[in-house]
Amino acid sequence: MKCLIAAAGQGTRLREKGELKPLIPIKGVPLIERVITNARAGGVDGFFAVTGYRSDELQARLGEIAARDGVAITRIFNRNWDRANGVSVLAAKQFIDEPFLLTMCDHLVDPEIFRALIAAGTEPGTVTLAVDFNIENPLNDPEDVTRVKCEGNRLKHIGKVIRDFNCFDTGVFLCTPIMFDALIESQARGDDSISGAMNVLAEWGKARVFDIGRRVWVDVDDPVAFAKAEKLLEDGLLS
pLDDT in tens, 92-149: 999 999 999 999 999 999 999 999 999 999 899 999 999 999 999 888 887 889 999 9
- CATH code of 202's domain: 3.90.550.10
User: What local confidence, expressed as pLDDT, does residue 142 receive?
Assistant: 79
User: What local confidence, expressed as pLDDT, does residue 172 receive?
Assistant: 98
User: What local confidence, expressed as pLDDT, does residue 8 receive?
Assistant: 97
41/169 Cα distance (integer angstroms): 21
Supply the pTM of this predicted model. 0.96
Instruction: Judge whether 226 lies within some domain.
Output: yes
93/103 Cα distance (integer angstroms): 15
| Interior/surface letters 109-133, b for 16+ CB within 10 angstroms, e for the rest | bbbbbbbbbbeeebeeebbbbbbbb
Amino acid at 199: N
Our CA dihedral for 155, 161, 167, 171, rounded to 10 degrees, sits at 80
> Model confidence at 209, in pLDDT bands (50, 70, 90)?
very high
167-175 and 147-151 as β-strands: parallel, antiparallel, unpaired? Answer: antiparallel
With 0-12 / 13-18 / 19 or more C-beta atoms within 10 angstroms meaning exposed / middle / buried, residue 102 is: buried
Share above pLDDT 90 across residues of the chain, in percent, rounded to a whole number: 93
Q: Provide the number of structural domains found in the chain.
A: 1
- Measured between its terminal Cα atoms, the distance across the chain in Å is 21
Residue 35 pLDDT exceeds 90: yes
User: What local confidence, expressed as pLDDT, does residue 237 receive?
Assistant: 92
Quote the mean pLDDT of the chain: 96
- Please state whether 54 falls in left (phi above 0), alpha (psi between -120 and 50) or beta: left
User: What local confidence, expressed as pLDDT, does residue 52 receive?
Assistant: 98
Q: Which domain holds residue 168?
A: 2-234
Instruction: Judge whether 172 lies within some domain.
Output: yes
Instruction: Judge whether 239 lies within some domain.
Output: no
